[in-house]
Chain A
Amino acid sequence: MMNLLQFLKKQLSSIPHWVPISVGLVALGGFADATYLTIEHYMNALPPCVIGDCELVLTSKFSEIAGVPVALLGALYYLAIIVLVITYFDTKKEVFMRSALFVTFVGMLASLWFTFLQIFVIHAFCQFCLISAATSTTLFIISIISLKKYRKPATLL
């Protein structure tokens, strides 16, 4: 655990303000999107079937993992990022911001998987799922840029 903390500490020099602010805002957007789908899942159970095919995605067997809707997992993922960003603002400890940046890798992998399922397995799209894929990808891109740009020269050794 200590090693991980040291590793995270080493990765970045000081982070400019736009990074946590943009990560926080994009994550907030993702959180609203995923929360909407989660509420929809529990309140309505089933969306009506519209010409177009989002209900195929939202009712597919991939929409839940062991009974937990993936929308809820998505909401928790975005919430974790927001909490890390605010903790960073609160404590000024960069380890929290770095953690937030690394956590976005998880979201990116999950989004790749779910977009793959929509294209190749379910053969249908749901717009709210694609919005989430877009916010995850945006977070990932911000992370990659920040981690590359604001890396301490020392870590290159």
Chain B
Amino acid sequence: MKRILTWAGFIIVLGLIIWGLVVANKKPINFLPAALTLSTEVNANDWVKGSTTAPITIVEYSDFQCPACAAYEPYLEDLIAKKGSTFKFVYRHFPLPQHANAYPAAIAAESAGKQGKFWEMHDLLFKNQLDWAELKDSSETFTSYAKSLGLDMAKYAVDVKDPALRKKIEAQFKTGEDSRIYATPTFFLNGKSIDNPRSYDEFVTVLEKAAK
């Protein structure tokens, strides 16, 4: 009898622990204690996709070297392709200091942007993140992406050294800090931060709720 009690107690305790942890995980540890407020309105310096006139705006603070950001990329791409007429999507740089190649990647994307190919470079960087994330020197890889996009390489070489692009990225980083974010990706829906949706369907729900 005592035997059964001991083992039953053991299984119940383990069960409770696992159940508690699953529940704790379902409501993800909220890195952002309450909804944060976007410090800086969408402006002419921002990269915008989707509808420019829609009343719903999603701003993403992202880092090209962040694995979670790369994981979100396909959802967003799908969302913009299918629901792009209902919302405005804005990408802002938040290159985290521990990601050594995130900043050069942001520079590469901005340089491509100078020739109208920001989003193309953005897509290439995320799709091939594993190829360059750990490189000591990522510049050759980024140059090869620029070539594959058919950029004017002489102009690209000048632009990657342009201090104005650095300033722009640093300014966007600062708007993130001013909004008090410290994780990527962080999404703002109409100026208020939201818990990161965990699937394409959750993104659709967020949009539908906002449209009501």
Interface residues of A (CB under 8 A from B): 28, 31-32, 35-36, 39-40, 43-53, 55-56, 59, 79, 82-83, 86, 89-90, 124
Is chain A's binding surface mostly helix, strand, loop or mixed?
A: helix
| Additional A-B contacts beyond A35-B18, A79-B14, A83-B10 (8; CB < 8 A) | A32-B17, A35-B17, A39-B22, A40-B25, A48-B66, A55-B67, A56-B98, A82-B10
Among B1-49, those with CB < 8 Å from A are 3, 6-7, 10, 13-14, 17-18, 21-22, 24-26, 28, 31
In the complex, whether B54 has a CB less than 8 A from a CB of chain A is: no
Q: Is the CB of B7 within 8 A of A48?
A: no
How many angstroms from the CA of A50 to the CA of B28 in the assembled complex?
14
Q: Is the CB of B183 within 8 A of A49?
A: yes
Sample 11 A-B pairs with CB under 8 A, ordered by A number. Answer: A28-B17, A35-B17, A46-B71, A49-B99, A50-B31, A50-B96, A50-B183, A55-B68, A82-B14, A86-B10, A90-B3
How many angstroms from the CA of A149 to the CA of B68 in the assembled complex?
49
How many angstroms from the CA of A35 to the CA of B66 in the assembled complex?
24
Q: From residue A70, how far is it (CB to closest CB) to chain B in Å?
A: 17
Per CB-CB distance, the 8 closest pairs between chain A and chain B, nearest first, are A49-B66, A53-B98, A46-B68, A48-B183, A50-B183, A59-B67, A51-B182, A49-B184
Q: Is the CB of B98 within 8 A of A90?
A: no
Known contacts A35-B17, A39-B21, A44 near B28 by CB under 8 Å: yes
How many angstroms from the CA of A15 to the CA of B128 in the assembled complex?
57
Contacts of B185 in A (CB 8 A): 48-49
In the complex, whether B69 has a CB less than 8 A from a CB of chain A is: yes
Q: Is the CB of A89 within 8 A of B198?
A: no
Q: How large is the interface on B (under 10, 10 to 19, 20 to 34, 35 or more residues)?
A: 20 to 34
How many angstroms from the CA of A43 to the CA of B3 in the assembled complex?
35
Contacts of A86 in B (CB 8 A): 6-7, 10
How many angstroms from the CA of A28 to the CA of B175 in the assembled complex?
43
Q: Is the CB of A49 within 8 A of B96?
A: yes
Contacts of B71 in A (CB 8 A): 45-46
Interface residues of B (CB under 8 A from A): 3, 6-7, 10, 13-14, 17-18, 21-22, 24-26, 28, 31, 63, 66-69, 71, 96-99, 182-186, 196, 198
Question: Of all chain B residues, which has the CB nearest A49?
Answer: B66
Q: Is the CB of B67 within 8 A of A36?
A: no
Q: Is the CB of A46 within 8 A of B67?
A: yes
Contacts of B184 in A (CB 8 A): 48-49
Contacts of B28 in A (CB 8 A): 44
Q: From residue B28, how far is it (CB to closest CB) to chain A in Å?
A: 7
Taking a contact as CB atoms closer than 8 A, the residue among B10, B18, B198 that contacts A44 in the complex is B198
Contacts of A49 in B (CB 8 A): 63, 66-69, 96, 99, 183-185
Q: Is the CB of B21 within 8 A of A32?
A: yes
How many angstroms from the CA of A83 to the CA of B13 in the assembled complex?
12
Q: Is the CB of A89 within 8 A of B183?
A: no
Question: Of all chain B residues, which has the CB nearest A43?
Answer: B25
How many angstroms from the CA of A28 to the CA of B12 in the assembled complex?
13
Q: From residue B148, how far is it (CB to closest CB) to chain A in Å?
A: 26
